[in-house]
Amino acid sequence: MASDLAGAVSGAAARPAAAAAAPTRFPPPWRAALARLGWTAASIGLFVGIWELCWATGLSDPKLLPPPHIFLANIPDQARFFNTATRWQIGINPADGPSPYEAVFITIGATSMRVFVGLAIAAVLSVSIGVLIRYFQLLERLTLPTITLLSPISPIAWLPIAIFIFGIGNAPAIFMVVVALFFHMTLSTISQIDAVNRNYINVARTMGATKRQIYARVIIPAILPQLLLVLRLNMFGAWMVVLVAETTGVGFGLGQVLSMARNTFNPSLVFFCIALIGVLGFLTDLILRMVQNRILFWVPQTAGVLRGL
Amino acid sequence: MDSSRFRPFSSADAVACRRVGKTWAEGTVRAHEALRDIDLDIAPGEFVVLLGPSGCGKSTLLYLVAGLEAQTDGLIASFGDPVEKPSPDRSLIFQETSLFPWLTVWQNVSFGLSIRGAPEAERRAVATEALARVGLSAAIDKRPDELSGGMRQRVAVARALAMRPKVLLMDEPFAALDVQTRAKMQDFLLDVWRDSGASVLFVTHHIDEAVALADRVVVFTARPGRIKSILPIGLPRPRDPFSPEAEALRRQLTAELKAEVDRAFAEQEALATA
Ligand SMILES: Nc1ncnc2c1ncn2[C@@H]1O[C@H](COP(=O)(O)OP(=O)(O)OP(=O)(O)O)[C@@H](O)[C@H]1O
Ligand SMILES: [Mg+2]
């Protein structure tokens, strides 16, 4: 397995060089994507290489900091620890449940589902409430002080409440994500509404737009880019909160496996979970970035300009 | 508002300002008098240019006439009705570009119609016609950030024209353009103005531009902005910028403006040392 991985890494890293050597083989967008992939692989390879070197020279204790070739060596062995809710039910023979690999996917799926459902609920709720607060002054007076007051409270403090209200299962984990994002995203929606270019609003006013039309056709499109960015930044927070919620007995999920790995002193399993979480977080960000490029086709891309500096 | 306190105005006047004053943030420590005692009539179809030192309140006056801000003193009327809120009859073209980046060019141009709920076919037809008038038929499906600065300002003009306004308020619309483009835009604006029959209130820093465009030039004093003088430009159109009459008018306007700019600088200096 270790050599497989090394082969994959070096193979991927070699690709951009091959593409550059044969420029006619791939159209330019493909070449750019391949180059990006190559650099990603090179970056991970460098990091893994240093880690493996520390292990090879005896600098790091493999019992505490097992390098990738150890914690990725025996995936079936690790996957044994991924219990799913069905396997845990009383009266069901643990051996009857899904295979270890299936259990890994069920666990990942359950955790990701909590993150996405929580993100979606938080996004819809906080944007609507943020807009309504600016739209109706009475609502602002009634709710904004409370929202501002509650926003600095750490999501961890809400954990007991989540369990009191929702017990054990998906609901408390999703509730935690919503609570962790809602206040911040509502306040940020409001501040973005206030930052909308006055000219845009004035143009609409001179054309006889009503308040409702100004909100629907000017303010919401104008704040959309920033909102998606806020959502992307908060996605990491959502992952964090879900793991914490799962650790504290929500049932099953990556957080629960991680907590068990800690309790049973199993560093390999910890690193295996961390690797999974890293890949999942990266993929979620990629999806959100694709959504962003799709919806926000008009937002100019400045990254290229910065690269020229 | 009791209009009998003011010098009478006719309902034929496209714009009538009577002793208009504007103090920003009135009643606070940050109160700032931008305009004082502005008396100005604009006839239907007339082209009036406002000229004045930076910060004298030219943009402020356009905002008041557009109805986007309320004057703190005096009365503004358009065709006999007091100006209290924005109206599609008075289109304002802003100093900076104000096209919506999330809409295509034609959607921007027909934004006002979509506000009224016009069907897409009609909107597209109106946008096509307005864009043809500003010479941008080819850009109809582009997005604003794909256009040059001059093209964007022309789209803004097309958007204003699509509303068929009776008064066109323009705040240094060509300030960001190079000299050649600006000259083209001026010719084009004069064509559009003649076709549309609208009154134009046009703000600029450029004396050349004022002499090239205006029926009358209104020179403002430094802040608070008051009307220093009104100069009719009687030159026949199309105008020759190199004629001795144009030269003499430019000389006269330069002298008037220089006095005000000097005064503005002296005042700012005094404020800074105080
Ligand atoms: N929204 C506002 N709130 C407070 N003060 C303002 C506001 N807009 C303008 N002012 C002040 O009013 C004065 C006149 O501003 P205005 O923008 O009308 O000047 P201007 O003649 O258009 O200047 P420029 O030629 O530089 O565009 C300035 O001193 C400015 O600081
Ligand atoms: Mg101005």
Which tens digits make up the pLDDT trace of B67-101? 999 999 999 999 999 999 999 899 999 888 789 99
Residue B137 Cα to ligand 1 middle (Å): 35
Identify the residue whose C-alpha is closest to ligand 1 atom 24.
B54
User: What pLDDT is stored for residue A187 in this prediction?
Assistant: 94
Q: Over the range A255-281, which residues count as b (16 or more CB within 10 Å of their CB) and which as e?
A: bbbbbbbeeeebbbbbbbbeebbeebb
Which pLDDT does position A3 carry in this prediction?
43
Pairing of strands B90-93, B167-171: parallel
| pLDDT confidence tier of residue A309, bands split at 50, 70 and 90 | low
Give the count of beta carbons closer than 10 Å to the beta carbon of residue B132.
12
pLDDT of residue A68: 86
The answer to whether domain B7-79+169-274 has CATH 3.40.50.300 is: yes
Q: What CATH number corresponds to the domain at position A177?
A: 1.10.3720.10
| Chain A neighbors of B96, CB-CB under 8 A | 199
Residue A60 structure tokens: 């790091």
Instruction: Give residue B89's pLDDT.
Output: 92
Supply the pLDDT for residue A6.
43
Q: B47, B70 in Cβ contact below 8 A?
A: no
Q: What is the pLDDT of residue A248?
A: 76
Mean pLDDT, chain A, whole residue set: 82
Q: ipTM of the assembly? A: 0.86
> Hey, are the CB atoms on A206 and B88 less than 8 Å from each other?
yes
Atom of ligand 1 nearest to the CA of B62: 18
Query: What is the 3 state secondary structure string of chain B?
Result: CCHHHCCCCCCCCCEEEEEEEEEECCCCCCCEEEEEEEEEEECCCCEEEEECCCCCCHHHHHHHHHCCCCCCEEEEEECCEECCCCCCCEEEECCCCCCCCCCCHHHHHCHHHHHCCCCHHHHHHHHHHHHHHCCCHHHCCCCHHHCCHHHHHHHHHHHHHHCCCCEEEEECCCCCCCHHHHHHHHHHHHHHHHHHCCEEEEEECCHHHHHHHCCEEEEECCCCECEEEEEECCCCCCCCCCCHHHHHHHHHHHHHHHHHHHHHHHHHHHHHHC
Q: What is the mean pLDDT of residues A78-97?
A: 64
Residue of B nearest to A210 (CA): B115
For residue A137, the model assigns a pLDDT of 92
Residue B35 and residue B22 in contact, taking contact as beta carbons nearer than 8 Å: yes
Locate B266 and state its tokens.
Answer: 């002296």
Strongest mean pLDDT among A148-157, A238-247, B41-50 = B41-50
User: In this predicted model, what pLDDT tens digit does every residue of B181-207 receive, in sequence order?
Assistant: 788 888 888 988 998 899 999 999 899
- Domain range for A274 is 68-87+99-295
Whether residue A202 and residue B98 make contact (CB cut-off 8 A), yes or no, is yes
* Assigned domain for A18 exists: no
Question: Does residue A62 lie within any of the structural domains?
Answer: no
Do B112 and A199 make contact, defined as CB atoms within 8 angstroms?
no
Contact assessment for residue B51 and residue B7, using Cβ atoms and an 8 Å cutoff: no
Q: Which atom of ligand 1 is nearest to the CA of B60?
A: 18
Helix (H), strand (E) at residue A174 = helix A170-194
| pLDDT at residue B107 in the model | 95
If you average pLDDT over residues B56-63, what whole number do you get? Answer: 93
Ligand 2: centre distance to CA B274 (Å): 27
Residue A51, pLDDT above cutoff 60? yes
Residue A92 has pLDDT above 70, yes or no: no
Residues A173, B179: Cα–Cα separation, whole Å = 63
The confidence score (pLDDT) of residue A62 equals: 81
Mean pLDDT, chain B, rounded, equals 90
User: For chain B, which residues lie within 8 Å of any Cβ of chain A, measuring from their own Cβ?
Assistant: 66-68, 86-88, 90-92, 94, 96, 98, 100-102, 111-112, 114-116, 143, 145, 159, 163
Residue B60 amino acid letter: T
- Number of domains present in the structure of chain A: 1
Categorize the per-residue pLDDT at A16 as very low, low, confident or very high, splitting at 50, 70 and 90. Answer: very low
Q: pLDDT band for position A15 (50/70/90)?
A: very low
Q: Which residues surround ligand 2, an ion (CB under 5 A)?
A: B 59
In this structure, is residue A6 part of a structural domain?
Answer: no
Amino acid type, B72: T
Q: Shortest Cα distance from A206 to chain B (angstroms)?
A: 5
State residue A254's pLDDT score: 87
For A240-269, write each residue's pLDDT tens digit: 888 888 887 666 788 888 888 888 888 888
Average pLDDT over residues A163-176: 87
Statement: residue A8 has pLDDT above 50: no
Site residues for ligand 1, CB cut-off 6 Å: B 24-25, 32, 34, 52, 54-60, 223
- Residue A9 domain flag: no
Q: Average pLDDT, stretch B201-222?
A: 93
pLDDT of B196 reads 86
